[in-house]
Every structure is written in structure tokens, then in C-alpha cells.
Amino acid sequence: MPGFQVTDRPLGVAQPVTGKELRPTHDAADALQIQRETMRAWERFLSGVPLAEVTVSEHLGASWQRSVSSGVCPTNRSAPLAARGDDVARLRWRHRELLKAAASIFAVTKDLLVDSSTIMLLTTPEGVVLETAGDMHTLERGQDIHLMEGGDWGESSVGTNGIGTAIATRRPVQIHAAEHFCEGIKSWTCAAAPICDPLSGALVGVIDISGPPQTYQRNNLTLAVAAARQIELILAERAMNERMRLLEVCLQQVTGRDATAMLALDRHGRLIHASGRVPVALDLGEQLQGIDECSPIEEWAKQLPEGLRAEWLNPITVEGKRIGAMIVVPSRSRPANANRAIEQGSEADPERSSFRHIIGRSAAMLAAIERGRQLVGKQVPVLIQGETGVGKELFARAMHGEEGACKPFIAFNCGAATKELIAGELFGHVRGAFTGATSEGRPGRFELAHGGTLCLDEIGELPLDLQPVLLRVLEEGIVYRLGDSQPRRVNVRLLSLTNRNLRDEVEAGRFRRDLYYRISVTQVRIPPLRERDIDIDLLIEHFNCCLARRHDVAELRWSADAKAALRAYAWPGNARELRNVVESLLLTSNGEMVGLSDLPPELLESAGIGAASAPPMPSDSLEQAERVAIARALHNTQGNLAQAARLLGVSRSTLYRKVELYRLEDIVR
């Protein structure tokens, strides 16, 4: 290759290799001489000698050059730590599927590499170490250079090394001794192989085998490649089984009479099956446009592309785990009870879009419902106010749904993204309009809602400098995509949701007065649960029935004193908090009757009922009692692990392990 002097080198292949490539055998003297030459080449390169005059392989030179371009200091003695303590636990949690797939490999490795002076490591796609196993003495030595859990071995962080260079080249690679870029790592040899998603081909991790220079052998690379392939096979088998189960559930729940079309999406948002007249262009294996696979499946309803409606999305749960979703395009002549496959009260239930299905008989709730009914079909902005968890979006969907199911309902949370992303989401963007913009551009929520309803949740969180732009769009009915000068006319009905007092926000200068009057032409206030205590029994019955059916468990009976305690509680989280309490008890109760002793202690305390008055919670074993306590804490904190850990008085890392041990992942937010 021009610009490089390529040499046949017996140690440290400085280019990505496959298991078929072999090196000639050389004696110790030859090996030592080669290392001296590599060291001299490294010193000349750092002194500014052009690569064309440095005797190294093309790929090693390219890696050294990338290291310099990334600003890596060649005198570094170790890799940086990207995670410590609880952060490592969170990282392991995020990559738990990869860790599970690698578990059998690492179980064998513990015995295979004992007394071998060699260790095996598993990393994230970015090169942060998740798991280590092998010779104990070498593991201890590895900590000196942060070759341990949490260490960042990306090439841009620590220069040329097996892990980072395998990630950069996406091919197996072996880096030996002096070939490393950083001085403090040259006393190591490593062989690494990338692990790729068997379906998408995306990089999901790296397997690395490392040790002191004397442990170098070609078999290390062969072992790394074999381990990576084995993990990929396990991932492929699990993905295939999960997809088959997802498809089975979807086909059982939907028939041709139910729908015009059906799409089945795996938990990454990729299409695995389609039938009927699908309203979007999508190939098998392709990810649905706009879906963020890192967000909960329930939130996909807010990310669907034009042509698909949020109420058509139905998350699929098997054995307590979300495995994907189906999108059911309903038949125009579909009967009212045709959607029994979709749980009533779920995001995908079309009956949510009706005031008839809002639970409440209290005077305050009936007044709010009547107010909402009066505004159905009126082309006027409505400000829907209420505390967190009262059901503001439920009201918004009902106000839209009773207008007619053929019109789009597009929802967006103004508090869920940065200013730039909010602007792009609301108004759309053209190609390259900002960092992170899609390569083809996309319409904004205003365009998607044309002819229907745009629901802006947490409108009080909208950045102050975006508020005049929103005001102009509402007054003129014209949007400009970011980076574009072409006007696009839109006709939408705006429903704004907030748990703030916007009048106070206006007086504090955090919300524009003119925008406030524009979005609050009419208002609906949804009462908090503490103002409608006669509805609590109705909601308990409703959640008890729906959630028992969802989790396939028996409904619970509720004692009079337990119901009285729930009515006495202030419910700061409102109906959502009540739902969580009912769901927690359905999943963790040891009996058929809910008594005072089964209710969360903090609820009893807040309701003025001493926890000491409740008898101790029955339990078959200490483990069962611990599982129940953890499940309750997670439900009472809406799945927030940090809050649950504080409530339980344990560290977050301990709670992560316990959640995995007791298979409570589906409760975690």
C-alpha cells in the first residue's frame, strides 16, 4: 500500500485478522528484535516522522493515527474509568441481555483460564468493561491499568488496544506489547473479537483475552472469535424464540375480521410480520421510522410515523416481560366489542377515547366530564389542568375520540427533550438541520396532526425562547421545518396539558402571557383524587379487574378497613398511584383478602393509621418476604430504582442484583 511499509511480523498482528490467518513461528530472539523495532517505530512516529517512513503495518499505523487524532496521550499509564460503583451496576443492567448470553462462556472460562496468567473480558459496544474472569493474579494486575469492570478501553480513550481497535475496525484483532499506543499498556498482549446483533448486525459488545506478553499465542484470538460467535448464537436463538412467541400471541389475538392490517414489532421496533393493507412502507427486519428502541414500548405510541395512530399500538407482555408490540389497523365496520384482544384501559384500547369509560361518580368528576363533553367538536384551544396522575391525557383522548376516530391524535411531551429536539419534534426538520437530525428529514407533530388534534403535555415546560414560535404557528396556521424556508399550512386543534399553575408561571416570567391566553381560550380542571373519595372504591374495583386479567392472576377481595385506609390517604400521585398500589398487591399478595397489614407502611402512616396496628406480613420464607418488600417499594416509587433503594435502605447496586434475582425487571422504569 502506498504510504506504508508493510512487514511480515511474527507477533502482534497490527491489522484486523480472522481465525484463518496464521503467523510463522519465530524464536525468542526474533520476537525480542521485532518488539524493539516496533518500539523504535512508535518513538519515530511520535517524534513526527511521517507514517510513510515508519516501518509498521498499514492497519497499526492507521490505529496509531486515530489515537493521535483523538488526543490520546501516549504516556498514559492506564485506561480511564467510565463507571464506578452504582454506575457499573446500572451499566450491567442496561446490557443485561448481553451478560445473560455470555454467562455460560464466563462460567467455563473461570476454570479454563485458572493459572494461565490470562483473563477474559466482556465490554459494551463502546468498550467499557462489563465482566471479567480468569487468572486471579492477572485480574489483580489488570486493576492497575483499569482492565476491570468500568474501565473504558475505547480507542479514542486509550489508543490502540485489542478492544478499542476491534470496535474501530469491527473485525477481530490481536495487539501485542509494543504495538499498544499508550506506554503504560505495552506490557500486555490482547486478542479481541466484536459481538454483533444476529438480526441487525449492530455491534453489541466485544470479547477480549488479555495477559502479560509471555501469554501471547494465536489460540487466544481463535478463542476470542469462538466465544464471540457462541454468544451471537445464543442471542440469535433467544431473539428467534422471542419473535416466535410474539408472533404467536399477535396471531392469536387478531383475526382478519378484527382489522384491516396488523404489524408485529419486536422489542427493538423491527417488523417481524405484516398482514393486510399496511398504511406505511416497511420491509421485514426494518425498524419502524421514529421508534426509539431505548424508550419503553408504551412510549412508542408517541413516536409512530404518519399513517399510524397511537391508539392502534398494543404492547405485548409474556411472562411479565415486554417482548414487542402489535399495531392493529381497525376495520371501518368493526363492532364495539371486537378489540377484546387489547386490554381495556391500556394505551392501545380505543375505548379510552370516550368519556363513557372515565371512572367517576363524584360531583367534582362529573362536573369535569360534563365540561369536557361540552367542548367535544369545538375548534377551540383547551387547557386541561390537573395534578400528576389525575388522567389529563385520558380527558384529551376522550375529547378527541368523540369527534370521530378517523382524525389523527398526536401527543407530545414538552418536558421530555432538549430545546433543539423539541423544536424538531414539533415543527419537523430537513436533512442536516441540526446535530442528530435524521438523514432524510421528517415532518413535525403539527404536520402529523393536520386535520385532527395535537396534544401538548407539560406545556409549562416549553422553553421560553420556543414559546413565540409556537404562538406564531397557532395564530398563522403555518409551520416551517427547521432548516427550511418552505411554509406548510396546518389545521390542528390544540389541547394543552399541565400540572402547573400557568398564571403563576406567567407572573414569574417563565411563561409568555400572550401564549397563555392563546392556549387557554377554554379550560378544564380535573379534580385530584382526594376531592373525589367516593370514586376510590370504583377505581379499586376497576384496576383490580383489569390488572388481574392483564397479569393472569386471581382478583383480590378488599377488607372494609383496607378500603377505609385508602379513602383516608391523600393520594399525591392520584389515580396513577392508586393503580400502582393495586397492581403491586395483585402481584405480591400472599392471600385472597387485602387487609391493613398488606398496605404499604408509608400509606398507612400518611393516612394516620399506625403501622404497628397491622400484624406482621405473612411470608413463606425470608426470600419471599424480601421479594415482596422490593416489589412493593418499586411499585410505590413507580419503578424508580434510586427512590426504591432509599426506601428500602440499601444501595442501588444491591437493589439491581435483587431485582434480577427475583425477576422483577418488568416493574422497573
Report CA 171 to chain centroid distance, whole Å. Answer: 27
pLDDT at res. 254: 62
Distance CA(356)–CA(350), nearest Å, equals 12
Residue type, 176: H
pLDDT at res. 274: 80
| Beta carbons of 297 and 310 less than 8 angstroms apart | no
Best CATH choice for the domain 58-238 from the list 3.30.450.40, 3.30.1180.20, 3.40.50.300, 1.10.10.1100:
3.30.450.40
Please indicate whether residue 274 or residue 88 has the higher confidence score (pLDDT): 88
What are the φ and ψ backbone dihedral angles of 203, each rounded to 5 degrees?
-70, 130
Contacts of 189 (CB under 8 A, 6+ apart): 12, 174, 175, 176, 177, 210, 211, 212, 213, 215, 216, 220
**The pLDDT of residue 367 is above 70:** yes
Q: How confident is the model at residue 3 (pLDDT cuts 50, 70, 90)?
A: very low
Contacts of 94 (CB under 8 A, 6+ apart): none
Any bridge partners for residue 411, and if so which?
Answer: 455
**The pLDDT of residue 511 is above 90:** yes
| Beta carbons of 535 and 529 less than 8 angstroms apart | yes
Distance CA(304)–CA(315), nearest Å, equals 13
Q: What is the pLDDT of residues 180-192, one digit of tens each?
A: 999 999 999 999 9
What's the rounded mean pLDDT across residues 230-240? 89
**The pLDDT of residue 230 is above 90:** yes
Distance CA(45)–CA(114), nearest Å, equals 38
**Mean pLDDT of the chain, nearest integer:** 81
Please provide the DSSP assignment of 647-669 as one string.
Answer: HHTS-HHHHHHHHHHTT-GGG--
What's the rounded mean pLDDT across residues 445-453? 88
What's the rounded mean pLDDT across residues 212-234? 91
Q: How far is CA 37 from CA 24, 31, 106, 278, 444, in A?
A: 18, 10, 36, 63, 59
Any bridge partners for residue 129, and if so which?
Answer: 123
pLDDT at res. 271: 85
pLDDT at res. 65: 93
Per-residue DSSP letter, 424: H
Q: What is the 3-state secondary structure (H, E, C) of 100-123?
A: HHHHHHHHHHHHHCCCCCCEEEEE
Best CATH choice for the domain 353-527 from the list 3.40.50.2300, 3.40.50.300, 3.30.1360.30, 3.50.40.10:
3.40.50.300
Residues of 262-294 as b/e, b for ≥16 C-beta within 10 angstroms? bbbbbbbbbbbbbeeebbbebeeeebbbbbeee
* Lowest model confidence (mean pLDDT) among 46-50, 342-346, 492-496, 576-580: 342-346
* Lowest model confidence (mean pLDDT) among 100-114, 279-293, 305-319, 622-636: 622-636
| Strand ordering across the sheet containing 129-134 | 129-134, 119-123, 203-211, 189-196, 173-176
**The pLDDT of residue 12 is above 80:** no
What's the rounded mean pLDDT across residues 150-162? 96
Please indicate whether residue 321 or residue 309 has the higher confidence score (pLDDT): 309
Distance CA(330)–CA(341), nearest Å, equals 12
Report CA 62 to chain centroid distance, whole Å. Answer: 35
pLDDT at res. 39: 92
Q: How confident is the model at residue 51 (pLDDT cuts 50, 70, 90)?
A: confident
What's the rounded mean pLDDT across residues 208-221? 91
What's the rounded mean pLDDT across residues 159-178? 95
Q: What CATH code is assigned to 534-667?
A: 1.10.8.60
Of 339, 13, 67, nearest in space to 181 by CA: 67
Q: What is the domain partition of the chain in residue ranges?
A: 58-238, 254-334, 353-527, 534-667
Q: How confident is the model at residue 16 (pLDDT cuts 50, 70, 90)?
A: very low
Q: What is the pLDDT of residues 588-629, one digit of tens each?
A: 887 888 988 889 888 888 766 654 344 444 434 456 566 667
**The pLDDT of residue 291 is above 70:** yes
Residue 630, all three cell numbers: 422490593
Per-residue DSSP letter, 287: B
Q: How confident is the model at residue 2 (pLDDT cuts 50, 70, 90)?
A: very low
Q: What is the pLDDT of residues 93-145, one digit of tens each?
A: 889 889 999 999 998 887 888 888 999 999 999 999 999 999 999 999 999 99
Distance CA(17)–CA(19), nearest Å, equals 7
| Beta carbons of 194 and 166 less than 8 angstroms apart | yes
Report CA 298 to chain centroid distance, whole Å. Answer: 11
pLDDT at res. 441: 64
Q: How far is CA 26 from CA 6, 426, 540, in A?
A: 18, 65, 77
| Beta carbons of 542 and 400 less than 8 angstroms apart | no
Per-residue DSSP letter, 527: P
pLDDT at res. 484: 79
**The pLDDT of residue 632 is above 80:** no
Please provide the DSSP assignment of 250-276 as one string.
Answer: HHHH--TTTEEEEEEEETTSBEEEEEE
**The pLDDT of residue 281 is above 80:** no
pLDDT at res. 123: 97
pLDDT at res. 13: 36
Positive or negative: CA dihedral 110, 111, 115, 117: negative
